[in-house]
A = this chain, B = another copy of it.
Amino acid sequence: MPNDDERFMHAALDEARRAAEAGEVPVGAVVVHAGRIIGRGRNGVEHLNDPTAHAEILAIGAASQTLGTWRLAGCTLYVTLEPCPMCMGASMNARVDRIVYGAPEPKFGACGSVVDLRAIPRYNHEFSVQAGVCADLSAEMLRAFFRAVRQRKATTNAPTPLTDPE
């Protein structure tokens, strides 16, 4: 029986899977309030042609619409990959209470891997972070995606979307 964090992370993984099906780097996110998913997002940078269209940004935007306020106090952001600085900043701006993420992101991760924006005292925003929930599932989905991209690239010379973590 999965716990709540695993259950909601599976919903984020579903979003990541849909991103991959659309040719996007598979990252998914959901925002949860009072035990209910109130916003979903999946990476749409290529499809939406927008460098800000990360899963977290879209999930936070959707959650704000659901709640009718941009202040997401009491909310938890679940995301399959450690947030980049943009998405950590968005979580701080949105006043989320908690972030739960899956795989670490060694090149951009702003939740500890490269920098920990929470550790900067003057930002004065306290939220708890739980890392590594369903991390293997997330990491395997990313690996499979980039493996397929490399294979396609080897035959068509197509550009690699975003940054290949490998």
Q: Which residues of A contact B (CB under 8 A)?
A: 45-46, 49-54, 57, 60-61, 64-65, 68-72, 84-90, 92-95, 107-108, 110, 114-115, 117, 120, 122-123
Cβ–Cβ < 8 Å partners of A64 in chain B: 49-51
Least CB distance from A142 to B in Å reads 17
CA distance A165 to B89 in the complex (A): 18
Inter-chain contact B93/A107, CB cutoff 8 Å: no
A-B contact pairs, 23 of them (CB 8 A): A45-B70, A49-B68, A49-B69, A50-B65, A50-B70, A51-B60, A51-B70, A51-B71, A51-B94, A52-B52, A52-B57, A52-B94, A53-B61, A54-B93, A85-B86, A85-B88, A85-B92, A86-B86, A86-B87, A86-B92, A87-B89, A114-B122, A115-B120
Inter-chain contact A110/B86, CB cutoff 8 Å: no
Beyond A49-B68, A115-B120, list 11 extra A-B contacts (CB 8 Å): A45-B70, A49-B64, A50-B64, A51-B60, A52-B60, A52-B90, A84-B93, A85-B89, A85-B110, A86-B93, A114-B123
Interface centre among A65, A70, A88, A114 (most CB of B within 10 A): A70
**How many copies of the chain does the oligomer comprise?**
2
Q: Is the interface of A mostly helix, strand, loop or mixed?
A: loop
